[in-house]
Every structure is written in structure tokens, then in C-alpha cells.
Structure 1
Amino acid sequence: MTTFLCVDCDTVVSSPVAEVALPAHALRCKLGNGIRNMPSLMAAGTYAVDPEPAGPPWRKWSEVGAELAAARGVFAPVPVVSFGLPGKIVLAPGDAVGTVLIPERHSGYCCGLDGGDGPNLACAGCGRPVGTRIDDCSLWQAVWLEPDAVRRVPGDLPAPVREFADQHGELAAASGVVLAHLLVASEGGPVKVQDGAIADIFRRALDGLLPVGGPAKTVALAGPGLPDPEADIWLAPRDFPSTARTIALPDEVWRHLAFPKTWPPIPATGGFPDGVLRDDPPPAPRWPDVRVDREVFLHTLARLPAVRQPWLRDIYDRVSADWHTLRYS
């Protein structure tokens, strides 16, 4: 576990928290319009670090240019480029302690704060701005600590295991990240996806964006409890040994796809008599309604250097121009 302290006066500004990977749905900054009571981005007792520059000040792509944007880790056109600090720390609002709101930094809409004025939380000990509370409608509730305003005091307790709950499109967001990496791994050629959950999610999108027919790279789930697949590209949990052909999934998403929970079918009139066993296994679970999150997909692809290759830039531009491309491909 880690505790965060103000760098100026050592006031404690967080509860003990354990580091986990940044959730993929954190890349979707806003969900819908006017959705109240959005949940916390982070589970209680956890924190994550965003390696990318994030937050204000923002500059338009047309003002920045491709060369300077690439230096900020953005390799394809986006509306605005962040010139904030990389390495911001996000935790659940309930895990932020020892802070007070800065009254003059209260930007937001009808329901709360959106952080548009910059850090709106100050250290209660010395008054230094240390973070930003976000709780407006349609925004994930979170506290983002500034990396240059806090320091870490490490501990040795493990992170809690988070059960997967596909709230507000978490699976769709994670799929957007994975799809961007799958396209890079494809090198512009056909891809064949293993039957099952990942085919339900990715096959239609890949077939719509890549050539179909001819020799194809294969994609399959891999990881603890699964046999090593005979595939060119493996989808595995983050702690699985990384190789050039491995694409990491968030651990809870990987468990959800590799070992889905199923309920035994029961006849409408009641259960079977004692001693009678079924001889027809239930059908494999499907996720027919999962749509790859377009916003997260574009955000991820724009930050992969490979997007500068003409064939991949063409895909980026097509999806940017037509929101139906991923939804109905």
C-alpha cells in the first residue's frame, strides 16, 4: 500500500492505497449527457497512474503541429493536445484526505466540479494545490493528484482483487484499447480471431477494418489456467509474461472473458428429480451487444507511433470521420 503526502508540509492527503493499472474506461472522459450519480472511477483502496500528459493547459492541434504533438505522445490529429504533466495519480474520492476545496476553482455544469479551472483541492496543512476533484454529471467521480505536489510513502500490502462489473461500458472501453493494439499487431493483413468471447467482440470490427481472405494472423486468449494457444497474437492478463506477440488485457476483463460465470439452466417447471443428470451442455456465453468504444479506440490509436503508417492512418481517419464504422462494421 502507498500513502501520499504533500511535498511541502508532509500532510497526509490520501488513505493507504494499492496501485493497479489505469482502467481503460478512464480514457473516456465523459459518458453520455447529463448522467447523474456516475460511479467512482477507482475502487476504494486503489490508485492508478496515468503515464500520459493530462489536463490543462490545452492547445489546439492546428496550433501545435505534428512534430510538437508527437513529442507529447500524440501521433495522429486530435482536437486538442494536453500540455499538463504526465504521471497524474487517480484515486477514489473517499480515499482523499487532508484536503480542502479551493473556492475560486469551482468550474462545472449543473451537478458538480469538472476540473476545468485546474487543481481545485488544496493541502489542508499549507494550502498548496495538490489535486482535482471531479464529480460533475456524466464524468467519472475521481480525485487526481498532481505528481509534482505529492510524494509517496510505500507499504507492502497487495492490491485488492477487483471483481468485474461491466458498468457504464467498461468492457467496451477495454475493447477499444485492445482493438487499437490488435490493428498494430496485424501489420495491415487479415486477422482470424479464436471462436468465443473475443470473436463476439472483435471479429466484426477487424473484418470491417482489415482485408479479408488469404493468410491471416490468428488471435487467441492465453494465460493462467488456459493452454498455450497456437496463435500469432495472444490476449493475456497484464501480469502474464510479456512477449512481442502478447497484448495485455485488464486482469478483471481477462478473467471475465476466459472464465465466464454461467448459471445452470433450469426447466421452467422446476429442477430435475434427484439422480437425473443433464446430457445437453448449456450453450457457450456470448456478448452480442458489446460495441467497441470508438472514443477510447481513437484515443489509444492516436498515441501509438504505428498510426503514422499510411494504412493505419487511413483506418484512424475513417473511424474519426464516421462513427458508424466501428458500430456496424
Structure 2
Amino acid sequence: MFGCAGCGAVLTTAVSRVAMPIHLADTHWETLHPPLLEAGSYAIDPAPYGPPWRHRDEVTAREAAERGRFAPFDRLSDGPPDSILLAPGDLRGTRLILERAGGYCMGIDGRDGPNLACPGCDLPVGTRIDDCGCWQVVRLVPHAVVRLPGPPERPLMDWAELLATGALWHRLSEYRDIPAGAALAQVVVASGGAPVEVAPGPVAELLGRALGALLPAGPGAKRLDLAGPGVGEPAADLVLVPVHPQTGAMWQPRAGAVPVPMDAALWAALAFPPHRTRLPVVGGLPAGVERDDPLPPHPCYPFQPSGNAFRYTLARMPAVGEPWLRTIYDRGC
């Protein structure tokens, strides 16, 4: 639990810490987004956030690297790091600072800095964001809040428990182009610029076309496949593995393949696709029987990982400074 540093008032009942959501790497423009985090959970963003902003001419390469940026940028936040993220519904006892409630068209986008204040002491304590094209989230200002005694955090679940309870499946997976773009960046870096041969199936459907466009073809290709809890370790050079949703730690293979991190919800969708009832190849439904199990929907166009999430992820990896990868970064996916 967190409270106001000025007067100690309770600000949120969220008690369970989770890893930083990968979906922050991008948004869907002019779309009303759901809350970024599940109710009762919070995450801590180590990156600086909010004003003041510094133009790239005012920031040295070393300062940018200390803030986790290794590729060119227009402006960089010089705000405080370690803001606490939570779902708007978990916020308690605050008022909106109306003069800081600017937005695009359907809500507040946080452009004016902290827009939430504690009614007891009037201290600005956080920023609410809920405009279209933005994940709904509240960012508590780290120096304006304190930890309060409260219920214990949810115990860490092991991989077997995560699979058994269905904790790897959540509704944000409908924005799967965002974690796919982040995973694509991780695969490209892990490839070292060599060709990548993608195992047939869900992984090829998700990343095959994009990898074919970004990396060269030819001999000596590295094989990419899926590995993880309940799936095992196939013979491959690179394996997509899930990131623990609570700790942010990757599942580690034992067979020597290079692990490539992937959002756990997207990984679970690839590893355990939903069952689809199939009709016989010949014959059909009996006369007078109406179909009540529609065929699975097919997209109107091939799946494309998020280009913004791809570049967002690369820009935060030191390897982007290598000439071959910088060329890919500048070209985009």
C-alpha cells in the first residue's frame, strides 16, 4: 500500500507487485484502451517520467545511456525515475488538478505533469492518464508517496502454478502486435545479424514474415523455436521463452539455446493455442441442423508486429549502436 508523503492519507489499496507491462512499448492510436494493470497490482517504472523535458542537443550520450536510451531521440524526460504504476480504479482519496487536465480528445494524457493532488495537504501525488490512444494508468510520483503497512503481497507463483491457474492469460493479449514487436526486436538482436530459420507453426505465423524482411537469407541460419514450461526444449539455436509476470525474470533453458524473452501472455497463446473444433473433410452437417460452432475467424491481412514497439525496444538495448543493427533500427519493420 502507498500513502501521501505529506499527510499519510491512503492513496491506493494495490498490494501485489508485478513486472513492468510490455504493452507500454506502444498504443493503438485513437482507441480507448483498458487499464494497463490488473486490479490490486502495481509496477515500478525505473525510467524517468514526465517534465521537465530535455532536447537531444542538451543530453550527452552518457546521460542518455544512464536513462536507458541508446538510439537518437527528439526529447528525453528529466523527471524522477521509479514512478509507481497502478490501475485507475485502485486509486483512493485524490482530487483532479483541473489546470493540469489537458488531453487530446477523450480524456487526460498527462502532458501537463502531475494532475492528482491529496485533498488533505494539497500535495501533487500522481498523474492520471486515460485519453484515447493511451493505456489507462495512474503514475504515483515516487517522492510524494510512502509505503504504508497493509496486507501481504501475493506470493510468487512458480511456472507450474502459473500454468495451472491460467495466470498467464489476460485480456491485454488482444493487443498482441505490441509484445510481438518487442519480441521481434529481441530476436533480431539475438541473431547477431545472421539469417534466422523460424520453426513452422505459430512462431512462423507471428514473426516469420517480419524476420524475413529484416534479416538476410542464406546458409548458416539460426533456428528459432518456442521453449518453456510445459513445452520443453526443442533443438534450436534461439528459443522464445516467457517472462515471469511477477518478477520479470526469463524462463531459462538448459540445453544451451539462447533464450529470447517474450511477454508471458503472448507466449502462452503460441504454446497453448485455444482448441478449435474442426468439421470432417468430407460430408457436412445433417439436413435441418444449424451450425452453432462458427469457423475460427481469419484476418483480412497478414499479421504485422508493432513497428513502434520494435523500435522502442531496440532503442533501449545497447546493441543498437552496432552499425548493422542501427541500419535495421533506422529502416524499421
Task: Give TM-score scaled by structure 1 length.
Answer: 0.83
What is aligned with 1:24? 22
* Contact 2:84-2:141 at 8 Å conserved across structures: yes
Alpha-carbon deviation of 1:91?
Answer: 1.2
What is aligned with 2:243? 238
1:80-115 CA-partner distances (Å, limit 9, x unpaired):
212122222211110111211122212213322111
What is aligned with 1:141? 136
Q: Which structure 1 residue ranges, 5 or more long, are not aligned?
A: 272-281, 320-325
Q: Does 1:102 align with 2:100?
A: no
* Contact 2:14-2:42 at 8 Å conserved across structures: no
What is aligned with 1:163? 169
Q: Distance in 2 between matches of 1:286 and 1:212?
A: 27
Of 262, 265, 271, 2:278 maps to: 265
What is aligned with 1:80? 75
Q: Distance in 2 between matches of 1:295 and 1:264?
A: 35
Change over 3 Å in CA distance of 1:166–1:199 after alignment to 2: farther
- Within 5 Å, which residues of 2 pair with 1:148-297? 148-153=143-148, 155-158=152-155, 161=167, 163-165=169-171, 170-239=175-244, 240-242=250-252, 245-266=258-279, 269=285, 289-297=302-310
* Contact 2:14-2:39 at 8 Å conserved across structures: no
Letter of the 2:7 partner, please give it.
C
* Contact 2:48-2:79 at 8 Å conserved across structures: yes
Alpha-carbon deviation of 1:69?
Answer: 1.8
Alpha-carbon deviation of 1:270?
Answer: 5.3
1:54-96 CA-partner distances (Å, limit 9, x unpaired):
2222222233243332232111112221212222221111011
Q: Distance in 1 between matches of 2:33 and 2:207?
A: 27
Letter of the 2:262 partner, please give it.
L
Q: Distance in 1 between matches of 2:172 and 2:103?
A: 27
* Contact 1:164-1:253 at 8 Å conserved across structures: no
Q: Distance in 1 between matches of 2:114 and 2:168?
A: 29
1:257-300 CA-partner distances (Å, limit 9, x unpaired):
100102212476259xxxxxxxxxx99x9997421111111111
Alpha-carbon deviation of 1:53?
Answer: 1.9
Q: Does 1:10 align with 2:8?
A: yes
Q: Distance in 2 between matches of 1:286 and 1:104?
A: 44
Root mean square deviation, CA, Å: 2.7
Change over 3 Å in CA distance of 1:131–1:162 after alignment to 2: farther
Q: Secondary structure at the match of 1:148?
A: helix
* Contact 1:201-1:288 at 8 Å conserved across structures: no
What is aligned with 1:276? none
Change over 3 Å in CA distance of 1:287–1:242 after alignment to 2: farther
* Contact 2:169-2:268 at 8 Å conserved across structures: no
What is aligned with 1:322? none
* Contact 1:200-1:288 at 8 Å conserved across structures: no
Q: Distance in 1 between matches of 2:155 and 2:301?
A: 35
Change over 3 Å in CA distance of 1:166–1:270 after alignment to 2: farther
Q: Distance in 2 between matches of 1:270 and 1:180?
A: 49
Change over 3 Å in CA distance of 1:287–1:62 after alignment to 2: farther
Q: Distance in 2 between matches of 1:291 and 1:65?
A: 35
Q: Distance in 2 between matches of 1:157 and 1:316?
A: 39
* Contact 1:171-1:290 at 8 Å conserved across structures: no
Q: How many residues align?
A: 304
Q: Distance in 2 between matches of 1:238 and 1:94?
A: 26
What is aligned with 2:120? 125
* Contact 1:66-1:76 at 8 Å conserved across structures: no
Q: Secondary structure at the match of 2:92?
A: coil
Letter of the 1:9 partner, please give it.
C
Alpha-carbon deviation of 1:135?
Answer: 1.5
Q: Distance in 2 between matches of 1:229 and 1:286?
A: 29
* Contact 2:107-2:130 at 8 Å conserved across structures: yes
* Contact 2:17-2:153 at 8 Å conserved across structures: no
